[in-house]
Amino acid sequence: MDIQDEKDLAEEILDAITIICPHTILAGGAPRDWYMGNTCNDFDFYFSLDPDSTMTSNTEQLSRILPKGMVRVKDLEVRSDIMYKHMKDLRRIHYYTYKGREVQLIQLDRLKSVFNAVDNMSCSICKVWWKGKEVVPTKDFLLSYKTGIMYLNKDYSWSDPHPKKMRERFPDFSCGTVE
* Region of poorest pLDDT, from 30-34, 108-112, 170-174: 108-112
* Region of poorest pLDDT, from 49-58, 59-68, 117-126, 148-157: 49-58
- Assess whether pLDDT exceeds 60 at residue 81: no
Main-chain dihedrals φ then ψ at residue 79, nearest 5 degrees: -55, -30
Please state the pTM of the whole predicted model: 0.92
Between CA 17 and CA 105 the distance in angstroms is 9
Q: 62 in helix, strand or coil?
A: helix
Q: What is the pLDDT of residue 75?
A: 82
Confidence of residue 82 (pLDDT cuts 50, 70, 90): low
**111 Cβ partners below 8 Å, 6+ apart?**
21, 23, 48
Domains of the chain, CATH where assigned: 3-137 (3.30.460.10)
Confidence of residue 179 (pLDDT cuts 50, 70, 90): confident
Q: What is the pLDDT of residue 155?
A: 82
**167 Cβ partners below 8 Å, 6+ apart?**
150, 158, 175
Question: What is the crossing angle of helices 55-65 and 3-17, to 10°?
Answer: 120
Q: 63 in helix, strand or coil?
A: helix
